[in-house]
Amino acid sequence: MGIYDYTVTDNKGQAVSLDAFAGKVLLIVNTATGCGFTPQYKGLQQLYETFSGRGERRCERRFEILDFPCNQFGGQAPGTDEEIERFCAVRYHTTFPRFAKIEVNGGNASPLYTYLKSRQTGVLTPDIKWNFTKFLVDRHGNVTARFAPTEKPEALVKEIEKLLEAP
């Protein structure tokens, strides 16, 4: 099974096949609205604005950020999906796709995250250690890198550019 075989739920309760993102470079992030790393939303939005329009034709999006709120770490993503969306839109002016709140570890972990962790393990364990862990996926659906929460979005620019330039 590959990344495009998974279906996730968006923050409005609709099923979304990741096949809809085939051919795009993806940055998949588990987020939280009440975390010390929450200001990374600003950097994520800057990445999105910088790279989402790059393509042969200006209207063709070749980069997407997929935001998966997660309340597993210190209860730092409280609220409903609607409240999280409102917070992110008002506070950080985010415009990238946001999905329903999920779990990333344990028996109720999202199958997508189980897959991501199997492709790029963390230090000592595959488990996600905190909010704002980032996975980079190339245009062919390969999970190419995993970044710790301490890696700021702006530090990923060269990796993203490399994947966007690759055939």
d(C-alpha 69, C-alpha 82), whole Å: 11
Chain centroid to Cα 40, Å, comes to 12
CB 41, CB 49: distance < 8 Å: no
Chain centroid to Cα 78, Å, comes to 18
35 classed as catalytic: yes
d(C-alpha 81, C-alpha 69), whole Å: 8
Place of tokens 């609220």: 79
- Strands in 134-137's sheet, in edge-to-edge order, are 63-69, 25-31, 134-137, 143-147
Give residues with Cβ within 8 angstroms of 129, minimum separation 6.
122, 148, 149
Identified catalytic residue from 35, 59, 70, 88: 35
User: Which amino acid makes up residue 68?
Assistant: F
Helices and strands in the chain: count of H runs, count of E runs? 4, 6
Residues taking part in catalysis: 35
